[in-house]
Copies of this chain bind each other. A is one copy, B any other.
Amino acid sequence: MPISFDSESFDVRVTREDLTRFMQQALAAAGADQASGHAVSRALVTASRMGTDSHGLRLLPHYLKALEGGRVNATPSMRFDQRLAATGFLDADNGLGHLAGYTAMEHAIEMAQKTGLGAVAVGHSSHFGAAGCYALAAAEHGYIGMAFCNSDPFVKLHDGAGAFHGTNPIAFAAPVAGELPYLLDMATSSIPWNRVQQFGAIGRELPGQVAARADGQTSTDPKAVASLLPLGGSDFGFKGAGLGGMVEILSSALSGMQHGFRLLPMNGPDMATPRGVGHFFLALHPDAFAQEGSFARGLEAYLADLRRQPATPGAQVMAPGDREWRCQAERDTRGIPLDSANQSAYAEIATRYRIEALSALA
């Protein structure tokens, strides 16, 4: 049955096939070519399946707006320039970052197959969703993958007053024999900016060391907050800021793009001017170092020891990715949930582009 958008249900669920179909039709209706539509739906559905809702289906309306505004090129001609045997540059032609990300990681994997390593800097790109998608793409091919991206400023420097870095994520994935990959995907701030907005909306206090006022002083009042603290908080934020800087240097300096502080804001108001986001991708051949097979054995032994560690009361020790794969199994069975805001947004998209609405699971 079609979703009833009059209902106040917060747990309407859809299949990933239907969600993929819907996204691809909407993106095509907004002018995106098939490769772009496939890449965006792959990334967003991947994130939504594993429970990374901040980077999943909720972003579709944003990308449609960016396509319509002309900021993002709907039919890019991405050009890969292989510079040396293990490195290259991908000019994303201001297309969707998801296509740039998957394309760049494919080139990195191809180089890593031959030389053991491959790295691609991407320039003239745009928001690519969850960094973990591209690291994961490498792990699914049997490679260790890393992905980095800059963004417009949300995070202050350790001793700084105002926002300077983006939430500059680090993603790392590794293949695990007989299991889904090891997957770390983390912002270099403690919380994402949309948590400030969520907490503000419900009048809830923020944790103690995650955000600051415009003068740089830490605050727990979402209404007073102007920037995020880097991971590590008031005392150890120099570490999170250093990691954010590393991500910035890899993403923008290596790709010849402007650094994040000078990027136009993701959320506009200017939706017409390309932003020039930069990414960086690295693939490593796990059997190109020690003996063939030793990586798989070592990772298996590490994860076995990790998962059998005693936990604090009421908790469970998990490896990065364990929570995500558990969520994915549940959502592959029960469907991917849409909260009421997304139900409305998707209904509006269906109407605007005259495409068949999502079918809610019974």
Quick check: B245 and A164 within 8 Å, CB to CB? Answer: no
Contact flag A295-B256 (CB < 8 Å), given A86-B115, A117-B87: yes
Does A2 touch B at the CB level, under 8 Å? no
Q: Is the CB of B317 within 8 A of A160?
A: yes
Report the interface size class on chain A.
Answer: 35 or more
- Output the least CB separation between A55 and chain B (Å): 16
Distance in Å: Cβ of A315 to nearest Cβ of chain B: 4
In the assembled complex, which residues on chain B have CB atoms less than 8 Å from the CB atom of A121?
289-290
Looking at A17-25, A40-48, A57-65, A297-305, the stretch in contact with chain B turns out to be: A297-305
A252: Cβ under 8 A from any B Cβ:
yes
Contact check, B288 vs A83: say whether CB atoms are below 8 A apart. yes
Please give me the residue from chain B that is nearest to A174 by CB atom: B249
Residues of B within 8 A of A289 (CB): 83, 87-89, 119-121, 254-256
Measured in the bound complex, the distance between the Cα atoms of B113 and A84 in whole Å is 9
Query: Known contacts A253-B302, A259-B305, A302-B248: does B161 contact A114 (CB below 8 Å)?
Result: no
Given contacts A116-B86, A117-B86, A119-B284, are A302 and B252 in contact (CB under 8 A)? yes
Mark the stretch among A31-39, A182-190, A336-344, A347-355 that contacts chain B.
A182-190
Q: Counting CB contacts under 8 A, is A265 at the interface?
A: no
Pairwise interchain contact B114-A311, C-beta atoms closer than 8 A = no
Contact between chains at A290 and B161 (CB < 8 Å) = no
Q: Give the Cβ gap from A176 to chain B, nearest Cβ, in Å.
A: 10
Assess the A217–B312 pair: CB atoms within 8 A.
yes
Known: A159-B317, A246-B172, A310-B162. A298 touches B184 (CB 8 A): no
Given contacts A215-B312, A254-B290, A259-B302, 18 further A-B contacts (CB under 8 A): A87-B116, A89-B290, A117-B117, A157-B309, A182-B245, A190-B236, A191-B236, A209-B233, A216-B311, A216-B312, A242-B320, A245-B306, A252-B302, A253-B294, A253-B295, A256-B290, A256-B298, A259-B301
Point out residues on A near B: beta carbons under 8 Å: 83-89, 114-121, 123, 144, 157, 159-162, 164, 170, 172, 174, 182, 184, 186, 190-191, 207, 209-210, 215-217, 231-233, 235-236, 238-240, 242-243, 245-246, 248-249, 252-259, 261-262, 284-286, 288-291, 294-295, 298-299, 301-302, 305-306, 309-312, 315-320
